[in-house]
Amino acid sequence: MPSRGLVAGPNFEYFQRRYFTPAEVAQHNQPEDLWVSYLGNVYNLTPLAQEYKGDLLLKPIVEVAGQDISHWFDPKTRDIRKHIDLLTGSLRYRTPRGRFLHVPPQLPRSDWANDFGKPWWQGSRYEVGRLSAKTRNIRIINTLTSQEHTLEVGALESMWEILHRYLPYNAHAASYTWKYDGKNLNMDYTLEENGIQDQQEEFDYLNMDSTLYTPAVLLYFNDDLTEL
């Protein structure tokens, strides 16, 4: 673990988060900024949209920008779902929104070019991370400035990843000691592994509003103005 002054941790200049929430994916809902998620992963299809800008076959993908499209896929094969085509009697990709990029036409066509290599949904060239299957809220309180922010985070994110989310509010976030219930947090662990339980199910069972209680992590400033 590299050290930055008094604070040990990853180099955030090259740091990449592993998880994204559905709300984050939903923000990328334009042709010039197009993300989708499927089968637990998140994909940035912006380069694909730029490459095929103006192509009618891009339209079904643009229509689902920012959404989860797992229902397009067979989870066993991780390929587009297929069905028996009534016209040809052959096995074809199922595209209820209409045929889209890299899906072969129903019948042979002279303008069908299949020299694109792998279809966009195969491989990991557009993958940017995993989709958080479960999210939770956490309050982060800066004891130096008394500022408080509530973040939605993935249940499986490490504290370093949560710190990375918090950087827009405090560029020196890594120069603080992060504590909960008076104990230093292990930044390599998740909230749950640090003893910060997710009590959403208990609140639901008791028919109580879970927003009435959101756990708080306290930040204590170290004498080190680390810039990330």
Q: Residue ranges of the domains in the chain?
A: 22-131, 134-221
Q: What is the pLDDT of residues 128-154, one digit of tens each?
A: 999 999 999 999 999 999 999 999 999
What kind of fold does domain 134-221 have according to CATH? Ubiquitin-like (UB roll) (3.10.20)
- Residue 226 confidence (pLDDT): 52
Q: Tell me the pTM.
A: 0.84
- Residue 225 confidence (pLDDT): 53
Average of per-residue pLDDT across 158-168: 94
Q: Where are the beta strands (DSSP E) in 98-190?
A: 127-131, 135-142, 148-154, 176-180, 183-184
Question: Are 205 and 193 spatial neighbours (Cβ–Cβ below 8 Å)?
Answer: no
Q: What are the phi and psi torsion angles at 197 (to 5°)?
A: -70, 145
Q: What are the phi and psi torsion angles at 44 (to 5°)?
A: -100, 105
pLDDT band at 5 (very low <50, low <70, confident <90, very high): very low
Average of per-residue pLDDT across 197-217: 80
Q: How buried is 149 (Cβ within 10 angstroms: 0-12 exposed, 13-18 middle, 19+ buried)?
A: middle
Distance of CA 130 to the CA centre of its chain: 5
The number of residues in the chain equals 228
Average of per-residue pLDDT across 1-11: 55
Q: What does the buried/exposed string (b/e) look like for 183-206 if buried means 16 or more CB atoms within 10 Å of the residue's CB?
A: eebebeebbeebebebbeeeeeee
Q: What is the pLDDT of residues 56-113, one digit of tens each?
A: 999 999 999 999 999 999 999 999 999 998 877 889 999 999 999 999 998 888 888 8
pLDDT band at 1 (very low <50, low <70, confident <90, very high): very low
- Residue 4 confidence (pLDDT): 45
The C-alpha atoms of residue 212 and residue 166 are separated, in whole angstroms, by: 22
Can you tell me which residue has the tokens 């010039």? Answer: 32
Q: What is the pLDDT of residues 10-55, one digit of tens each?
A: 777 778 889 999 999 999 999 999 999 999 999 999 999 999 999 9
Quote the mean pLDDT of the chain.
89
In the CATH hierarchy, which top-level class contains the domain 22-131? alpha beta
How far CA 73 is from CA of 1, 124, 128, in Å, comes to 39, 15, 19
Average of per-residue pLDDT across 150-168: 95
